[in-house]
DNA sequence: CTGTTAGCGCATTCAT
DNA sequence: ATGAATGCGCTAACAG
């Protein structure tokens, strides 16, 4: 069943040799064949609704035209746009993404990676959170091209596509300062992931640059990018310095947690405390108040990552490259001048 | 590069014939081989870190162990959980999903479908909105198993997995009635998609069953499942009957639109008007007020759909079956007794 | 129980 | 410019 029609059927109908059909149908080799016969083959092909069997092609060429795409958690609104961007770029060149949600189960993760390797993927794009992840090692050992999303090996040994996290934090600080805030607090994300760390660095750098004081108790570290962790961290800051008038966070979900902490402390946003998130997640503009946030061009990141990968697949020895995209501050209702 | 090690290398190391290696490595045929030799082969295999090349396998068996998964819009929070459920079930049986975001571009859509067909997918799972979609026809013509998600051919000619939409609407109506509401309005979704239609039917049926009046002006049809359409529909109802105290919607985004319409009309939720959504999207509990909504077990739906598909792949002539899962009402802050 | 043989559908040499 | 032949890595039918 399926595509019973093979290259041989087309050959018979067009009265040529299968080899010729192959050449005529392949854009690269069409030049090798008489224009007239090529035309005959083409019509025969779509008369029979011929579809090249990419499995067979892959076996022959030892390129599967598939790319493994590792996503930690598809239900996190951050990732779907990235996937779309990756998909856009990949399909443009005839590649098919093999998506895998690496999730939290290492066993399943390993199995998925193995499956992709068995399927002869031509490369990997990994947006996965952990760096200790095995497949990366496996992939690199196998000489497979690899591009990281939103994280890097700091030694620059592997290509990556990220947003300029430091710059994003700077934008947030600048906005708060422009509004008149001077007592800024920061809810940091986990410091063992590059986004968490770099956003934090950007924040402190911007504070220093602005000549503002930053007592340690106005920075609180969330153990995870969750609402609960954000609420806890925010509460700690409010406790340590009730006079804080603006809080910048490393992530929208942490910001949501801040909303909760403010509510619990009977404080209002933005009247008492202004808040800025990071990522500009979908629906974040639907919160009350709508959250000001640093927008990350997720889709573009995915696209650029795929682009990087294809580049590497193209020429074996392209040096690893890191692409950094610009974030943008989206101002909404969660930021206002301090009451004072 | 890649897996330079083939079944032949293993054979050499284990001192057996390649055919034997194949048998020993394949769970189905392991019984045919001496336990001792099998063991020898196994150790040889993982000593060499042998990975079966599933491309080659697929060529031989003419089964790719891949399934095409058609999703209309990955960034819609409804779909990622479905994808996860599908993925769960599929990988459990060694299948790999080939995800495609059908989106709004018919040309790209067609191309993606073609790519999957060329990749010899063993079946399709389609959560796509439109029924006129070509691939379905193609798939069925090719004799490929197909399972629909959240939609059905009403003639029952193709397997499908859905939630009991009518029942969901009933739950919503019942809750409103229990709270004491009698003047209910309904913001319906598009009637040319089965979810929109069936949710509407469930609503009217429940109203009739409860013996409540339902003047036509208290039902308004949204042209799409968007916030804007919901706001417009809700405004129409409020205009037609300012006394309406409860509005049920076909979808959470329509419900968000209702929030907007209420705000515009200087009405409060739930004090003046109670609202119930449908789907229980992520973060919908973060709205102000948190939205009461009919929860759809998305992940289970995906899982069940994949299950159905595998069943069909197993036995050629399994009759099409429709699986309907139970929804559940999640009560939050958007519903309260009428002010009266 | 294991070795042998023969392709799956295609791309690619080498002839012609 | 095209035909012929070969083999990618694997499984399956057939021998032995």
Number of other residues whose CB lies within 10 A of the CB of residue B13: 18
Examine residue A333 and state whether it is found in any structural domain, yes or no.
no
The Cα diameter of chain B in Å comes to: 87
Is the domain of A87 the same as that of A97? yes
pLDDT of residue B22: 93
Examine residue A2 and state whether it is found in any structural domain, yes or no.
no
| Nearest nucleotide over every DNA/RNA strand to the A6 CA, judged by C1' | C9
The residues with which A160 forms a beta bridge, in sequence order, are: A148, A322
Please give the share of chain A, as a percent, with pLDDT higher than 70.
95
Q: Do A2 and B80 touch (CB under 8 A)?
A: no
| Residue to substitute from B80, B230, B251, B268, interface A, most A β-carbons within 10 A | B80
Examine residue A337 and state whether it is found in any structural domain, yes or no.
no
Minimum distance, in Å, between the CA of residue A148 and any CA atom of chain B? 20
Is the domain of B157 the same as that of B305? yes
Task: Please answer whether residues A83 and A99 qualify as being in contact, where contact means their C-beta atoms are separated by less than 8 angstroms.
Answer: yes
DSSP state of A75: T
CA distance A331 to B183: 40
Nearest CA in chain A to B252: A283
State the residue for tokens 């069997």: A53
Is the domain of A37 the same as that of A186? no
- Estimate in Å the CA A263 to C1' D5 gap, whole number: 78
| Residue to substitute from A48, A118, A138, A230, interface B, most B β-carbons within 10 A | A118
Of B77, B97, B119, the CB nearest to A54: B119
Q: Is the pLDDT of residue A130 over 70?
A: no
> Quick check: B59 CB within 7 A of strand C?
yes
Q: Is the pLDDT of residue A135 over 70?
A: no
Bases of chain D below 7 A from a protein C-beta are 1-5, 7-13
State the residue for tokens 């990350």: A296
- Residues of chain A with Cβ-Cβ distance to B288 below 8 Å are 287-288
Find the angle CA(A110)-CA(A144)-CA(A306) to the nearest 5 degrees.
95
Minimum distance, in Å, between the CA of residue A35 and any CA atom of chain B? 25
Q: Could you list the beta-strand ranges (E) of chain A.
A: 66-71, 96-101, 124-126, 146-149, 159-163, 184-188, 219-221, 246-249, 274-279, 292-295, 322-325, 328-330
Number of other residues whose CB lies within 10 A of the CB of residue A228: 15
pLDDT of residue B133: 60
Is the domain of B172 the same as that of B288? yes
pLDDT of residue A1: 43
**Which chain A residues 14-73 have CB under 7 A to strand C?**
18-19, 22-23, 25-26, 28-29, 50, 52-53, 56-57, 59-61
Nearest CA in chain A to B103: A84
Examine residue A59 and state whether it is found in any structural domain, yes or no.
no
Number of other residues whose CB lies within 10 A of the CB of residue A30: 14
pLDDT of residue B340: 64
Is the domain of B319 the same as that of B208? no
> Quick check: B34 CB within 7 A of strand C?
yes
Is the domain of B188 the same as that of B285? yes
Of B83, B94, B98, the CB nearest to A96: B98
pLDDT band for position A20 (50/70/90)? very high
Is the domain of B219 the same as that of B266? yes
Is the domain of A139 the same as that of A204? no
Q: Which residue has the higher pLDDT, A50 or B205?
A: B205
Q: What would the two tokens of residue A177 be?
A: 């300062």
Is the domain of A126 the same as that of A39? no
Examine residue A332 and state whether it is found in any structural domain, yes or no.
no
pLDDT of residue B41: 92
pLDDT of residue A42: 92
Minimum distance, in Å, between the CA of residue A204 and any CA atom of chain B? 30
Please state, rounded to an integer, the average pLDDT across all residues of chain A.
92
Examine residue B319 and state whether it is found in any structural domain, yes or no.
yes
A293-333 pLDDT, tens digit per residue, is 999 999 999 999 999 999 999 887 889 999 999 999 999 99
- pTM for this one? 0.93
pLDDT of residue A3: 56
Q: What would the two tokens of residue A94 be?
A: 């005839």
Nearest CA in chain A to B56: A59
Helices (H), A192-251: 194-210, 227-240
**For residue A139, how far is the Cα from the chain centroid?**
19
pLDDT of residue B222: 97
Domain residue limits at B137? 64-163+298-326
**Which chain A residues 79-138 have CB under 7 A to strand C?**
none
Closest residue by Cα to the C1' atom of nucleotide D2? Answer: A20
Is the domain of B200 the same as that of B238? yes
Is the domain of B131 the same as that of B208? no
Mean pLDDT in residue range A227-249: 97
Instruction: Report helix angle A18-25 to A7-14, nearest 10.
Output: 100
Q: Of A285, A212, A276, A288, whose CA–CA distance to A250 is shortest? A: A276
Q: Burial of B321 by CB count in 10 Å (0-12 exposed, 13-18 middle, 19+ buried)?
A: middle
pLDDT band for position A2 (50/70/90)? very low
Examine residue B2 and state whether it is found in any structural domain, yes or no.
no
Residue A105: which CATH number? 3.40.50.2300
Q: What would the two tokens of residue A191 be?
A: 């410091």
Low-confidence ranges of chain B (pLDDT < 50): 1-2
- Residues of chain A with Cβ-Cβ distance to B253 below 8 Å are none
- Residues of chain A with Cβ-Cβ distance to B119 below 8 Å are 54-55, 96
DSSP state of B6: -
Q: Do A287 and B287 touch (CB under 8 A)?
A: yes
Mean pLDDT in residue range A67-86: 95
pLDDT of residue A258: 98
Is the domain of A140 the same as that of A248? no
How many domains does one find in chain B?
Answer: 3
Q: Is the pLDDT of residue A137 over 80?
A: no
Examine residue B57 and state whether it is found in any structural domain, yes or no.
no
Q: Is the pLDDT of residue A77 over 60?
A: yes
């Amino acid at each position: 069943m399926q595509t019973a029609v093979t290259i041989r059927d087309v050959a018979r109908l067009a009265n040529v040799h299968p080899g010729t059909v192959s050449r005529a149908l392949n854009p690269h080799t069409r030049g090798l064949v008489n224009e007239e016969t090529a035309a005959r083959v083409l019509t025969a092909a779509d008369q029979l609704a011929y579809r090249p069997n990419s499995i067979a092609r892959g076996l022959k060429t030892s390129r599967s035209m598939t790319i493994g795409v590792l996503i930690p958690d598809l239900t996190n609104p951050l990732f779907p746009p990235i996937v779309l961007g990756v998909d856009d770029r990949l399909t443009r060149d005839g590649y098919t993404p093999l998506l895998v949600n690496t999730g939290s189960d290492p066993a399943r993760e390993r199995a998925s990676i193995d499956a992709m390797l068995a399927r002869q993927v031509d490369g990997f794009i990994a947006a996965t959170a952990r760096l200790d992840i095995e497949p990366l090692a496996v992939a690199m050992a196998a000489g497979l091209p690899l591009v990281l999303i939103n994280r890097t090996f700091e030694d620059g040994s592997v290509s990556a596509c990220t947003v300029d996290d430091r710059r994003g934090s700077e934008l947030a600080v600048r906005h708060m300062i422009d509004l008149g805030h001077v007592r800024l607090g920061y809810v940091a994300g986990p410091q063992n992931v590059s986004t968490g760390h770099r956003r934090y660095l950007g924040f402190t750098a911007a504070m220093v640059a602005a000549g503002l004081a930053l007592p340690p108790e106005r920075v609180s570290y969330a153990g995870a990018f969750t609402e609960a962790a954000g609420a806890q961290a925010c509460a700690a800051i409010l406790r340590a310095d009730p006079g804080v008038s603006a809080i910048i966070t490393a992530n929208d979900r942490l910001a949501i947690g801040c909303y909760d902490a403010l509510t619990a402390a009977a404080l209002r946003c933005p009247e008492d405390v202004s808040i800025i998130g990071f990522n500009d997640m979908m629906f974040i503009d639907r919160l009350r108040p709508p959250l000001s946030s640093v927008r990350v061009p997720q889709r573009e990141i995915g696209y650029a990552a795929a682009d990087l990968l294809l580049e590497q697949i193209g020429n074996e020895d392209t040096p690893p490259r890191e692409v950094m995209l610009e974030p943008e501050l989206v101002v909404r209702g969660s930021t206002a001048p301090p009451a004072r």
